[in-house]
Amino acid sequence: MLNESQLIQRIEIALKKNQPLSIVRIGDGENIVLAQDSVWPMRKVLKEPWAQLAMRGKKGIPMLDLTLRDHLVKAIREADIVGVLPIDDKKIFAPSYLKRPLTDQILKHYQITPQLMCDATVMRDCASNSKFWNLFKGKRVVVIYKYAQDFSYKLQKDYSISVVEKVTFTHYNQLTETLALMEQKKNDFDVALISCGVNSVILASEIAKKTGKVAIDFGKPAQFMTGKPY
C-alpha cells in the first residue's frame, strides 16, 4: 500500500524513465458497476440510487451493462496501481457497504490481486501538494474531462503546466475514439490526467498500455479545482 509520497515518487520515476504507468481507483460507483451479476444480483444493483442515476444518463456510462463491467475488470487487472478506499474511509459520501467491504468482495470474486495499491482518495491530497504538480513542469499534459477547457486553464494559470491536448469526454461511447486519438498522439504527450468518473479507470489503464505513457485517474479534484460538476 503506497502512501501519497511513495505514489508521487512512482510517478516521478515513470516520467523520468519514459515508462508506462497507470493509476486507477475503485470507489462506490466502480463497485456498483463491478457488482452487476457477479457478487450482487441485478435486482440488488437496481435498488441503488447511484445505479438509478446512471440509468438516467447521469454518470456517463451505460447501465445495466455487462460489457462495461467486464471492460472495467480488465482495466483494473492490468493497471499498475489500484486505489482502494481505506476500511474506515470518511472522505467520500456513500454508505459504508458500498465502500471497501464491497471492493474486497469484488476483487476476490474476480481473483484480482493488485501488486501495488493506494488510497482511492489520494488524488484529493495530491491536488494540494506542490510536489505533485511540480512533476508535470516541463512535461506535455493531456487533460480528459467533461470540462477539459476549464481544467486546462486552471492548470496553466495556477501551476504553469503545458496542456497539449484537451479532450472533452462525457460518455463511455466516446471511449474508442478517445483511445484512438491518444494512440495517434502518443509521441506528443507525457502524461494524461483523466477525470471521467467510472470511465477514468478504463481510460487510464488502456492509455498507459497503448501509448507507454503515464495515465492517472485523477477524479473529483478536477471538479473541486474548476467548480464544475464531475
pLDDT per residue as tens digits for the range 27-62: 999 999 999 999 999 999 999 999 999 999 999 999
Residue 58 contacts by C-beta under 8 Å, 6 or more apart in sequence?
none
Tell which of 119, 134, 149 closes a domain: 119
Average pLDDT over residues 129-138: 97
Helix-, strand-, coil-residue percentages of the chain, each rounded to 5:
50, 15, 35
Q: Give 9-12's long-range contacts (Cβ < 8 A, gap of 24+).
A: 10/81, 10/116, 11/132, 11/135, 11/191, 11/214, 11/216, 12/135
Confidence grade of residue 171 (pLDDT, cut at 50, 70, 90): very high
Q: Are residues 99 and 114 in the same domain?
A: yes
Is 41 inside a domain boundary? yes
Has residue 230 got a pLDDT over 70?
no
Is 230 inside a domain boundary? no
Is 162 inside a domain boundary? yes
Report the range of poorest mean pLDDT among 130-139, 172-181, 220-229: 220-229
Residue 227 pLDDT? 92
Q: Are residues 129 and 215 in the same domain?
A: yes
Structural domain range at position 81:
28-119
Residue 216 pLDDT? 98
